[in-house]
């Protein structure tokens, strides 16, 4: 449980948000299947990425993790060995789906489980195509729900059109494709984050990208790398919103990843009239990076729908908080995917923000928020979802009275020092 008081003197100062979650997971997994020692700096030591480390250790890979520095002793694809224990992914959908793609081609048996949230999340979006490629996978609901049992083996390439724009689906199939016969192609309806494509290339893999189609040839090996992980824009998003809505604020966020497949939050803030600037734009280790500066802003409502949705899918809980402070209506559509995240984020965002007095309604594929509204203190619940917990804490910074966030320990999944950063910025 955590209690957040209204911030009256503004949020001011400079912070470095923790490493990108998507890139941290991939660096460990790709390091594990590569030949040689992969070193990672800026790694996110959040619970999700620690689950990935734990699983790959159980698969026989030696991994040394010291805070944000990690060393992975890869021994090539053949270096993965049959685990004697179950592989526990904790709360992490990325670990589950990407690892399944790797396990699909390994000639051994394994069992994948996770927490109560993972047990509800749909896995047939990856297990169906992986089965079509030749992997034997079973689990509850005909292989849709954990616990899942996998017997990998000789797989064949597939030309797969995904119904959802999901980097987890795309990555899982491409990873299996690397050890399958022939070519594997994934086509998605909108572009999802492309960290897999970028990092596979850095590890020496040929990846062919043609619009929404990505292909890899089977039989490709990876070579170990030094990976520098930028700050996570999905974590920065909480302070971008806080800086825009808390009076008298100016926050500098250093070294944030600004890969265009992730920057929907920047577009939305600018569309809503936020005072947001990017400085020092550079490319670090194949990923665009910048320093961001946000100040208290006059905001107007907006419409968020279509292609931009996958570019800000994880930021919608905190965008809802932002919208409560904007003049007029904000409409979020085409975001059904929110229903299958760590919680049903349409339901959890709407129910928790209502407790603070927000004017917000759920729709079938998103939500409608009317502002501006003076939020008020109350007790809310993260429902075990890190991003709901953080969004509510940011709402607490502007609510009259204090906001108590129950189950706030879930925040350690992606942002272990989140409350330290709120305190640092409010003391300046």
Give the residue numbers annotated as catalytic, written as ranges.
314
Distance in angstroms (rounded) separating the CA atoms of residues 27 and 411: 22
CB of residue 322 vs ligand S3P: minimum separation in angstroms?
A: 19
**Complex with ligand S3P: residue 20 or 291, whichever CB lies closer:** 20
**Complex with ligand S3P: residue 10 or 143, whichever CB lies closer:** 143
**Complex with ligand S3P: residue 12 or 91, whichever CB lies closer:** 91
**Complex with ligand S3P: residue 169 or 266, whichever CB lies closer:** 169
CB of residue 279 vs ligand S3P: minimum separation in angstroms?
A: 26
Give the chain as a 3 state SS string.
CEEEECCCCCCEEEECCCECHHHHHHHHHHHHHEEEEEEEECCCCCHHHHHHHHHHHHCCCEEEEECCEEEEEEECHHHCCCCCCCEECCCCHHHHHHHHHHHCCCCCEEEEECCCCHHHCCCHHHHHHHHHHCCEEEEHHHHCEEEEEEECCCEECCEEECCCCCHHHHHHHHHHHCCEECEEEEECCCCCCCHHHHHHHHCCCCEEEECCEEEEECCCCEECCEEECCECHHHHHHHHHHHHHCCCCEEEEEEEECCCCCCHHHHHHHHCCCEEEEEEEEEECCEEEEEEEEECCCCECCEECHHHHHHCHHHHHHHHHHHCCCEEEEEECCCHHHHHCCCCHHHHHHHHHHHCCCEEEEECCEEEEEECCCCEEEEEECCCCHHHHHHHHHHHHHCEEEEEEECHHHHHHCCCCHHHHHHHHHHC
CB of residue 414 vs ligand S3P: minimum separation in angstroms?
A: 8
CB of residue 300 vs ligand S3P: minimum separation in angstroms?
A: 27
**Complex with ligand S3P: residue 171 or 324, whichever CB lies closer:** 171
Distance in angstroms (rounded) separating the CA atoms of residues 357 and 375: 5
CB of residue 192 vs ligand S3P: minimum separation in angstroms?
A: 5
CB of residue 45 vs ligand S3P: minimum separation in angstroms?
A: 16
**Complex with ligand S3P: residue 317 or 371, whichever CB lies closer:** 317
**Whose CB is nearest to ligand S3P?**
22
Binding site for ligand S3P (CB under 6 A): 22, 94, 166-168, 171, 192-193, 313-314, 337
CB of residue 203 vs ligand S3P: minimum separation in angstroms?
A: 16
**Complex with ligand S3P: residue 252 or 386, whichever CB lies closer:** 386
């Amino acid at each position: 449980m955590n209690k957040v008081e209204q911030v009256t003197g503004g949020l001011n100062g400079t912070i470095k948000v923790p490493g990108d979650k998507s890139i941290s997971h991939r660096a460990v997994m790709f390091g594990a299947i590569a030949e040689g020692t992969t070193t990672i700096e800026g790694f996110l030591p959040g619970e999700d990425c620690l689950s990935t480390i734990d699983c790959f250790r159980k698969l026989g890979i030696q991994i040394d993790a010291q805070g944000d520095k990690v060393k992975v002793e890869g021994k090539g694809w053949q270096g993965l060995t049959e685990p004697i224990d179950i592989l526990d992914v904790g709360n992490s959908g990325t670990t589950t789906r990407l690892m399944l793609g790797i396990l699909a081609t390994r000639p051994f048996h394994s069992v994948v489980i996770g927490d109560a949230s993972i047990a509800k999340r749909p896995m047939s979006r990856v297990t169906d195509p992986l089965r079509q490629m030749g992997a034997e996978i079973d689990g509850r609901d005909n292989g849709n729900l954990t616990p899942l049992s996998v017997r990998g083996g000789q797989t064949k390439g597939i030309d797969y059109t995904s119904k959802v724009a999901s980097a987890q689906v795309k990555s899982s199939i491409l990873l299996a494709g690397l050890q399958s016969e022939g070519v594997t192609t994934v086509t998605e309806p909108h572009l999802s984050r492309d960290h897999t494509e970028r990092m596979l290339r850095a590890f020496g893999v040929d990846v062919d990208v043609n619009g929404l189609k990505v292909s890899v040839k089977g039989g490709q090996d990876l070579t170990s790398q030094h990976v520098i992980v930028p700050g996570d824009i999905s974590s920065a998003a909480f302070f971008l919103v806080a800086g825009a809505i808390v009076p008298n604020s100016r926050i500098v966020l250093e070294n944030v990843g600004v890969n265009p497949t992730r920057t929907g939050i920047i577009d939305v803030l600018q569309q809503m009239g936020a005072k947001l600037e990017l400085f020092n734009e550079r490319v670090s280790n194949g990923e665009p990076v910048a320093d961001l500066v946000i100040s208290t802003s006059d905001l107007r409502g907006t419409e968020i729908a279509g292609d931009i949705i996958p570019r800000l899918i994880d930021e919608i809980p905190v965008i809802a908080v932002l919208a409560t402070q904007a003049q007029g209506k904000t409409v979020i559509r085409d975001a059904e995917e929110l229903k299958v995240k760590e919680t049903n984020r349409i339901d959890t965002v709407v129910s928790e923000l209502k407790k603070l007095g927000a004017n917000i309604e759920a729709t079938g594929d998103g939500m409608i928020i009317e502002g501006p509204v003076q939020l008020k203190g109350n007790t809310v619940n993260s429902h075990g979802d890190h991003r709901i917990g953080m969004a509510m804490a940011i709402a607490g910074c502007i609510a009259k009275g204090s906001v108590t966030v129950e189950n706030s320990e879930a925040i350690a999944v992606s942002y272990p020092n989140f409350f330290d950063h709120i305190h640092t910025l409010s003391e300046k």
